[in-house]
Amino acid sequence: MSFDVVFDNFVRSETHIKEVSLDIPYRFQLRSLERVKELFLRWLDVYKAYANGYRNELLTKTSRYVIRMLSSFTDTLEGKVREVFEARIPNEAYILVNDLFEQLGPRPITFVLAEGTLFEQTSIFRQLSETIDKMSAPRPAQGTANIDINMRDIQSRDVPVLYYEQGQYDNVLAWPLLLHEAFHYLYTYERLDRLAKDCPKVSWLEEALIDMYIVNYFGPAYALSLATYLQRFPHEKTVSHPSFVARIFIALQYLVKVKKENKLPSPVSYHTSDVFEYLKKVWSQQKEADTAQVQEQVETVYNAAEQRVIDVISEKAQPFSKFLTTNEEQRKTMHARGGFEYVENQVLSVGDVLEYFEAGIPVAADPRILFNTFTSRKSQEMIHDPRLRTFIVESLKKWHIKNAWSAAKASVQR
């Protein structure tokens, strides 16, 4: 067995990556996928550097093992390429995540969505590093410099990879869970571990704080996404994650507060009651999965960090309750001024979106308005209804186009 087999595999992989079609309607998404395509080719350069180094060494009994190992690595890379470029989730899911990054991020953030077995967050560099770490053979004596150069280049241009669970690609009401995975990147970048002051030092604290952040930013729709996903994985629990039951309990704390304050305009206030009852039912059915100590810890974390979370959101965007109230005030003002028939002037409420949905007309509504329109008990029964999926997908498309048009118009006026 010779190294020719390995390099033949490299050629096939390189050809496959270069020939990947990028027929993408959104410029920000196209830029991200072009970057990832380049990084996958650099990933292959790392493998080539290893193979060239090994080929120049005097390998005797180990040569067959090394050749097989390098050949298997191309299978790993091919799998990662397919997860990104053959992902079945609609392109419009990118719009939802991109909005979060634009609202709360420090700058435009390049990211990609990928199809996997769970909702999780990683990056191209991390995936490559994990592959290299599994390599049982030592580095070759020659080629180490090239390996390091390629690895550093990938790390400097790294891209977050957000995985969605493959069975949820057509469930639009599960898409808000992508925001949780996206926020892991922001949590690290913005050093939001400062939110953990006065919180118990539990291993899953970061997960809990991110859930608190997203539910306060995105509203009841995120809580509903958690609950519907819990029905698929009722007892998922690891050292770094509380069980989904504990995470539902965090969302319940938020909904209790929102209900007590009674500040949300209708029909969101009615929908919130529906979400609360649904979450309470799911939590009651599954709460035995956690000890009383875990539930107490979750409650302590929420009480200790909630105001800090709200303050941090307010530095860049409005928390959901305030956003919804402000949106309603702006809507009334725009109605009074007239010109509401022009898309760029429309400020839409949940009630407006419901009317458009009943009429079968997608609408350019802010994602926080759009997704929180469909949290009622009736909507919860429509998770896999094609009408709902089409409406949300097409509405996100319209909203993105509206923003692009408004930005273009503003730049011309300047």
pLDDT digits (tens, 9 = 90+) for 83-107: 999 999 999 999 999 999 999 988 7
Share of the chain above pLDDT 90, in %: 40
- From residue 135, alpha-carbon distances to 49, 65, 69, 109, 145 in Å are 14, 11, 8, 31, 18
CA 53 centroid distance within chain: 38
Residue 138 DSSP class: P
Q: Would you say residue 148 has pLDDT above 60?
A: yes
Averaged pLDDT for residues 29-36: 96
Q: Would you say residue 161 has pLDDT above 70?
A: yes
Question: DSSP for 100-133?
Answer: HHHHHSSS----EEEEESS-EEEEHHHHHHHHHH
Output the 3-class SS for 221-253.
HHHHHHHHHHCCCCCCCCCCCCCHHHHHHHHHH
Nearest to 143 by CA among 66, 64, 54: 54
Q: Would you say residue 279 has pLDDT above 50?
A: yes
Residue ranges of domains in the chain: 4-169, 191-317+345-407
Tell me which residue has tokens 């998404």: 29
The residues, ordered by sequence, that sit 6+ positions from 284 with a Cβ below 8 Å of its Cβ are: none
Contact 157, 125 (CB under 8 A): no
Residue 9 DSSP class: H
Q: Give the mean pLDDT of the chain.
A: 85
Tell me which residue has tokens 């957000």: 162
- From residue 332, alpha-carbon distances to 262, 309, 348 in Å are 20, 29, 10
Residue 173 DSSP class: G
Cβ atoms within 10 Å, residue 19: 7
Query: Across 14-23, 130-139, 194-203, 261-270, which has the greatest mean pLDDT?
Result: 14-23
Q: Which of 142-156, 288-302, 321-335 has the least mean pLDDT?
A: 288-302
In this prediction the pTM is 0.90
> How high is the pLDDT of residue 358?
92
pLDDT digits (tens, 9 = 90+) for 329-364: 888 887 777 655 666 667 888 989 999 999 999 999
Nearest to 76 by CA among 9, 5, 141, 158: 9
Q: Which of 1-5, 27-31, 373-377 has the least mean pLDDT?
A: 1-5
The residues, ordered by sequence, that sit 6+ positions from 15 with a Cβ below 8 Å of its Cβ are: none
Averaged pLDDT for residues 267-290: 79
Give the burial class of 207: count Cβ atoms within 10 A of its Cβ; 0-12 exposed, 13-18 middle, 19 or more buried.
Answer: buried
Rounded CA separation 17/14 (Å)? 5
Rounded CA separation 13/17 (Å)? 6
Rounded CA separation 37/47 (Å)? 16
Contact 209, 312 (CB under 8 A): no
Q: Would you say residue 245 has pLDDT above 80?
A: no
> How high is the pLDDT of residue 239?
44
Question: DSSP for 313-356?
Answer: HHTTS--HHHHHHHHHHHHHHHHHH--TTSGGG----HHHHHHH
Beta bridge partners of 165: 116
pLDDT digits (tens, 9 = 90+) for 380-402: 787 778 899 999 999 999 999 98
Q: Would you say residue 167 has pLDDT above 60?
A: yes
